Structure 1
Amino acid sequence: MHNERFLNYLTYERRFSKHTAVAYKLELERFESFLEEQKMPVHQVDYRTLRYYISLQTELGKASSSVNRTISVVKSFFKFLVREGVLSQNPASALKSLRTPKKLPTIVDKEKLVSLLDQEDHDELTFRQRRDLLVMELLFGTGIRLAELLTITDADIDSYSRQIRIIGKRNKERLIPIHDMLYDQIVSYQAEKKSVILQNMSTHLIVTNKGKPAYASMIYQIVKKYLTTITSQSKRSPHVLRHSFATSLLDNGADLNAIKEILGHAGLVTTQVYTHNSAERLKLIYKQAHPKA
């Protein structure tokens, strides 16, 4: 009962994405199973019980990032129970996140990616090919998240100012500029969409072959199909294109604060991870190019 109310709170008040809400739901179900095994109602849970539960996650071999997600969910859940008056004190308030090693964002070679996308003959494309190419161009050309791509409607494209209206995390709105070539691709795709799908078409920009709103696994398949032709790395997801976009901007001298605004980051600390990527790339270029390196 408490779980359901908490998930509704995340979805309708906190405006969590569907993907995040599902992740929270799975974490809560694991925690609920643990309490059932311990024969412990939620109002009897104390800090020691929670520390034991977290230690079990570590013993199972979970990565620090996964354990930290568990901690975050548990803390949010008990904070909600206090807010709702179910509990008078929050036993999870003192839980601390584990230290995690910083990982550089995975990117793809931008020259290979640009070459791949530019080799398509737009005049000969089918509707499906034109849509798939636009998905790649949007992700790499704007740095938007997968969830943001899925929410874009035709009305969000501003033809006058060449901008796209994006609804990001926590329902925060931002405008992202697009270059003329990408805008032309959007217009061409929209025209093709109207001529191919004659009825029951969604107002979402990216749709299935039958005109229904696109879904996450469909976008993953499109991105993987393209990236497989230019890289053998294990990570070939939409987020890799977001990382590649940000790194390309930084490599070409873009201001870090501007990149932060385009990506929709809440704080500059998140954006600064890309400076490490650029530094590593510069080191590699130096070693390859300098005669004494």
Structure 2
Amino acid sequence: MSLSAFISYLKLEKNYSQHTIKAYERDLVTFSDFCREQHDEQDMVTVAYPLIRNWIVHLSEQGVSNRSINRKISSLQAYYKFLLKVGDITVSPLIKHRALKTSKKVEVPFSEMEMETILSEIPFGDDFEGCRDKLIIELLYATGMRRAELVNLKVSDVDLSSGLLKVLGKRNKERIIPFLPSTAQQIKTYLDKRTRLEKISDSHHLILTKEGLKIYETLVYRTINKYFSLVSPKVKKSPHILRHTFATHLLNRGADLNSVKELLGHSSLASTQVYTHNSIAELKKVHQKAHPRNKK
């Protein structure tokens, strides 16, 4: 079965995002090239596990982290699972594979003070780009949406009168997210600046470049990194950390896990529970401070 058939399966049946599909395709092409160049083996369908193990060693020697290697192997596992499904193979070569050990990834959210400083004290500028950059940060923090969801947000998805917006998440699942009056005001300010652009080539998407085109994911990342470098010493400054911050701050202030799960668009509570680490730390502080048996 060709790689193109697998890619079509991911797109049409699994409803994966274009970003995810490209990642799968990139991993599989890289493995196919390794098979051909290093071992004169061109057909991924018939490979045995020792060849995959050699690829793992090769990646490790190139300095690829265990976490990244595990992700690449996950792409292979999905491919061989598909081959099993269509009957091209009877046993996956990865049936006995065990993932490489990785250190626990700790993502530190921004503090409430850092968020307040960014949104209330940092000068963004009164031009189109300044208003747009502030809106990017405001929307990510106020709604917890993913970077790709922000990029694809349309003008028609935002209802200013009701304070709700519609997001198309992973696997084309829609969800409705409320936003704050401050966010609504920032959207109005941005839209006013947007109408003054010389040219708007994309009138459907909400957030545009100064050339009037749909923004792209790298621009969102650069925006977050640029402004948070002014207020935060944290090493990692990314759109995902803002999503992490959104969830953590809600949980710290008493939001229940199921509500946060719905807002984030997670399919299971297990995905949301990774954000409870910081809220538990906050609860411990409150407990120790308030409990009468705690001797100071």
Over residues 114-172 of structure 1, what are the superposed CA-to-partner deviations in whole Å (9 max), with x where a residue is unaligned? 122123679x7111111110000001111111011011000001234311101111111
Map residues 253-264 of structure 1 onto 2, 5 A cutoff. Answer: 253-264=254-265
Gaps of 5+ in 2: none
Cα separation, 1, equivalents of 2:255 and 2:289: 24
Aligned counterpart, 2:10: 10
Cα separation, 2, equivalents of 1:120 and 1:229: 8
Aligned counterpart, 2:22: 22
Cα separation, 2, equivalents of 1:113 and 1:34: 46
Aligned in 2, Cα 1:72/1:179: closer, same or farther, shift over 3 Å?
same
Residues 104 and 277, structure 1, Cα contact 8 Å, conserved in 2: no
- Find out whether 1:132 has 2:133 as its counterpart: yes
The residue type equivalent to 2:107 in the other structure is: P
Aligned in 2, Cα 1:253/1:38: closer, same or farther, shift over 3 Å?
same
Aligned in 2, Cα 1:183/1:250: closer, same or farther, shift over 3 Å?
same
Aligned counterpart, 1:204: 205
Cα separation, 2, equivalents of 1:114 and 1:289: 26
State the 1:55 CA deviation. Answer: 4.5
State the 1:276 CA deviation. Answer: 1.1
Q: Which moved more, 1:180-189 or 1:89-98?
A: 89-98
The residue type equivalent to 2:166 in the other structure is: R
Q: Secondary structure at the match of 2:195?
A: helix
State the 1:275 CA deviation. Answer: 1.5
The residue type equivalent to 1:53 in the other structure is: W
State the 1:60 CA deviation. Answer: 4.7
The residue type equivalent to 2:26 in the other structure is: L
Q: Secondary structure at the match of 2:278?
A: helix
**What count of residue pairs does the alignment treat as equivalent?**
292
Cα separation, 2, equivalents of 1:232 and 1:289: 31
- Find out whether 1:217 has 2:218 as its counterpart: yes
What's the TM-score, normalizing by structure 2?
0.87
Residues 201 and 210, structure 1, Cα contact 8 Å, conserved in 2: no
Aligned in 2, Cα 1:199/1:94: closer, same or farther, shift over 3 Å?
same
State the 1:58 CA deviation. Answer: 4.3
Aligned in 2, Cα 1:207/1:12: closer, same or farther, shift over 3 Å?
farther
The residue type equivalent to 1:4 in the other structure is: S
- Find out whether 1:158 has 2:142 as its counterpart: no
Cα separation, 1, equivalents of 2:171 and 2:200: 33
Gaps of 5+ in 1: none
Over residues 233-263 of structure 1, what are the superposed CA-to-partner deviations in whole Å (9 max), with x where a residue is unaligned? 2211111111111110011010011111101
State the 1:176 CA deviation. Answer: 0.6
State the 1:48 CA deviation. Answer: 3.9
Aligned counterpart, 1:42: 44
Aligned counterpart, 1:182: 183
What CA RMSD, in Å, does the superposition of the two structures yield over aligned residues? 2.8
Aligned counterpart, 2:66: 64
Aligned counterpart, 2:107: 105
Aligned counterpart, 1:236: 237
Q: Secondary structure at the match of 1:196?
A: coil
Cα separation, 2, equivalents of 1:83 and 1:286: 52
Identity of matched residues, %: 37
Cα separation, 2, equivalents of 1:288 and 1:102: 29
Aligned in 2, Cα 1:154/1:58: closer, same or farther, shift over 3 Å?
same
Cα separation, 2, equivalents of 1:230 and 1:12: 43
Aligned in 2, Cα 1:101/1:199: closer, same or farther, shift over 3 Å?
closer
State the 1:61 CA deviation. Answer: 4.6
Cα separation, 1, equivalents of 2:198 and 2:179: 26
Residues 118 and 228, structure 2, Cα contact 8 Å, conserved in 1: no
